Each structure stands twice: as structure tokens, then as C-alpha cells.
Structure 1
């Protein structure tokens, strides 16, 4: 038997560049109060509740999700309800019919309007590739497909969305990257007019840094998460970092070329309770700028 360790599985297309993406977005709560609660019952049902309250108009949104795994049959049953009165359900089977094969059926329904939709999902993953596909079950189905191929530390990906009823390619994207234990370099081109490049680097056990450069063809999303005015395809360049003060605390910071400065602090108060505060400041207009502050609490038991 070979002593060589198994190579990590090839990630699906949505996870490409995830480390850098989360460094700029995770842990920031611009303009909202947020609470998350996760618990596992003695019968094996996992509950996850999340709630958001806007600081501008006090509008509250939230969702309640339950998940139950039937290990003997490789099944995962998921149900979710949100405050807009949408009901979601999913049945997924993984690794039972074949190792790396995933089959899932997803549906959503809004009782008030009788609006309904559904989706069939297929995935197949091995050491050197990961294929994903889903197709809508409504009257105007759209087929989404993606494939990631990996060779040693290099990977490439393709994805697209096809309007099945009109046989029209609505969207395409291609990605290339390189990754190892300490760094990930990722690039993506979408529809020929939008692109993104990012670098994530783990400098040491305490410091993670990242750079993200993007160009979009339409409205640009600011680092604070809100949609800004039309940028006309201008570049958005961001630099971010995380500094781990100790085992239970960390500091986040980021800044971009439109002078938005993001700052965050996260502290584990006790086992199962984590609190975070964050701010996104418009440094180009300190006195009257669109500054946003946020607070988040995560509970787990």
C-alpha cells in the first residue's frame, strides 16, 4: 500500500476562489443586526435559525432551517421557511449509488400566491474533476452546468446557463487557478465583459491576507455589500486581511480603491457564543458619507 496521502477532492465551481471571497465578505454586517443560532437535537435533527434587522427601516427578515441525515441510505432531508412565507424542501442522496455521485430534488412553494418552482440536481466528483448540473422543473427550464478539472496544484473550470426552451446560452464563465496549503490564485472571466482575479495567502498562523480585482459590465457592488451607482466597467481593487489576536479573537480589515474601509472584531465569549462588530466607512466623504455599522451574534449548542 502506498504511503502517499490522498489528494484533496476537487472543489465544485462555486467554491473556486472561496478563501479570498470570504476574507472580504464573511464577518461584515453592514447596516444590519444579525443573529444566528445552530443546534443539534438528540434525535439527530440539525436546526439553523438566522435573523436580520435593518438599521435603516427596522425591517426584520429571517429563516428557519432543519436538516436530518439518514446515514444508512445516504439521504439528507432539508426543510426551510423564511419570513417572506416561502417553503423550501430538498431530498439529497450522496455516495450511495456510486462513490462521488450526488442526486437531489429541490422544491419551493409560497402558499399566499400559489407560486411554486422546482429543480433537479446532479453532481459527480472524483479526485481530479467535479461536475455539477441542475435543471429547473418549471415551464421555462434553465440548465446550469459546471465542470472543474484539477491536475496537481492547478485547476480549470467551465460553467454556463442554457435556456432549454429557446436553446439560448444565457451565461458562460471560465476560471483558472493554482492552489496549495498556503496560497490560492484564482481568475474568472464571465460573458466576455466581466472578470475577477484574487489571491489568498496565509502568511503564518496568525495572519491571512488577500487581494481581489474585479471588473463588471453593469452595476458595481461595493465592499460593504450594497449596490453602488453604475461604474461603467471601472476596476474595483480590494486589499484585506485577518489577524488572529489569540485563539478566541480576531481582527478583520479591508480597503478598496473607492476608499471604502472595512473594520471588524470577532470574539468568542464562551463555548458556543461568538459576537462580532463591524463597520464599513466611506473615507472619501467622512462627514456625510454612507457609513454602515453592524453587529452579529452566533450561538451554537
Structure 2
């Protein structure tokens, strides 16, 4: 089957990754990924905050039963939450995805879950999920593609109170070297981004965001842009050679991000990064981070 249209969360991902991926401000991070002979994929990640020495992490296992189109996923984190998901894909109909997800915390007996459905074809991609608790929230999104153009819409609906909680719309254009993306949320938050592959060694991007109320930064958590100020981010990646690259970004708040990533050997990649407050270089809130990724 031809390449399908991306899901709504994947719109603008190339530019978003340029500013988020590879930076670890204020933390030590380690990721480990391995695949057993029986086909079970294990992924574990750990974080240690440099400010308060708090350590957190998670352990995930995933097993695919290809003949049945099933994927079984289990995950545990240091907050003592247990997660499980059963996903069925492409067997009932090409492009159809059905899944049930649940989470449970033994200490408090708190539990939640959701049912997910997706249907993807060459020119559209529909995604929906609904909570299985007493106050279910229905999330739906649809992306339609035509040649190099993409358009998407998403809604969040409170089923119990029959109330629209939020909405978002997006437009985009993409080809082999450039991706344009624009999004409006709830009429008061918007984003525009451009990703451009200047050459085989250089990726560049610009992102302009406006939050719902007061300033954020380039490193505010995704979806948590704080404030109504417009923030402009510029970023790039330069591939030094096959096994190394340099990252850099800066915004109009004069926060400078720098990063270096090196593949030490097969299956081991190390990265260091820093986000510097250039408004107050001497006593500013400078944050450094280190990441290690292991794969075997």
C-alpha cells in the first residue's frame, strides 16, 4: 500500500524534534533498548534531576504477534504505575487499528483506561480515543492529504457533560526538503514552523509560538507554553561525519542551546547539551545535561 497520511500528533514533527530532541537541560538521562531472541523488545529509560537529585524512570516490554496483527505492551514506572496495552492492526482491514489501554496504581487502587481506534489510508488518517472511566473524554483527529498539502482538525469532547473542551486545526505543506506547518488551538494559542534540509549535512528550522497567557521558553514542555508572549526559535543540526553531529538553537528570549552527539561504538551513543541564559550570562539559569543511549 502507498505511504499513508501522518496522524495529527505527527504534523510538524521534523521541526519540533529539531528543538526538543537531543537536549537534556538539567538532567542526567540513560536509555537502553534491546530485542531478545524470542522477539520481546525491552526499553528502559532513567532520569536524574541535577537540582534535587530526584530519580525517575520506566521499564517497557513489547511483543509483536505478526500473524495475528497483535502488539502487547507492558510498562512500569517509578511512580508505581502499571500500564498495559493490546493493539490489533491491519488484519480486519488494511489501515485499521484497534487498541485497549489500561493503567493501575496498586498503592492507591487508582485505575484508568481508554479505547483507541485509528484508520489510515493514502489520503487521510483518522485517530480517536475515549476514556473508560465514569467521566469519559473523547479525543478525535482527522488529517487529510492532497499531493504535498496537509490539513488537520482535532477536538476534545466531554461525553458525560456533553461539552466541547477544546479544538485545534492545522495546515501544512511538505516535500523532500522542506516542511511547513501551522496550528491554531482554541483560538488563543498558535504555532508556525518550517523545517528545511539545506544539504546532506545541515538541517535547519524556525518555530514561532504564542501561548495562552505569559512567556515560555524554548524548553517549556511541549503543550505547556506558558503565557501570551510570542517566542521565536531558530535551530539547526550539522552532521560532522557519519557518527557525530552538533545541535544549536536560540530564541528571542536569548536562550542559547548547544549540543553534541557522538556514536562511541555500535549500539552506544552519548550526548551532552547546555541551555544558556544569555541575558544574564554570569548568574543566569544555565542548565546542562548528559544522555547515554544503549541498544543491542
Query: Contact 1:224–1:262 (CA<8 Å) still a contact in 2?
Result: no
Aligned-residue offset at 1:8: 2.8
Taking the aligned partners of 1:20 and 1:231, their CA distance within structure 2 comes to: 20
Equivalent residue number for residue 187 of structure 1: 182
Query: Contact 1:30–1:225 (CA<8 Å) still a contact in 2?
Result: no
Query: Contact 1:145–1:160 (CA<8 Å) still a contact in 2?
Result: yes
Indicate the SS of the match to 1:23.
helix
Equivalent residue number for residue 127 of structure 2: 132
Taking the aligned partners of 1:131 and 1:258, their CA distance within structure 2 comes to: 37
- Unaligned runs of at least 5 residues, structure 2: none
Taking the aligned partners of 1:35 and 1:267, their CA distance within structure 2 comes to: 14
1:207 to 202, 205, 208: 202
Query: Contact 2:216–2:227 (CA<8 Å) still a contact in 1?
Result: no
Taking the aligned partners of 1:206 and 1:296, their CA distance within structure 2 comes to: 22
Change (3 A) 1:286 1:53: same
Aligned-residue offset at 1:223: 1.5
Query: Contact 2:215–2:230 (CA<8 Å) still a contact in 1?
Result: no
Aligned-residue offset at 1:9: 1.4
Taking the aligned partners of 1:84 and 1:49, their CA distance within structure 2 comes to: 14
Equivalent residue number for residue 143 of structure 1: 138
List structure 1 runs of 4+ shifted beyond 3 angstroms.
229-232
Aligned-residue offset at 1:62: 0.3
- Unaligned runs of at least 5 residues, structure 1: 1-5
For normalisation by structure 2, the TM-score amounts to 0.97
Equivalent residue number for residue 54 of structure 1: 49
Aligned-residue offset at 1:103: 0.1
Equivalent residue number for residue 67 of structure 2: 72
Change (3 A) 1:220 1:101: farther
Count matched residues. 295
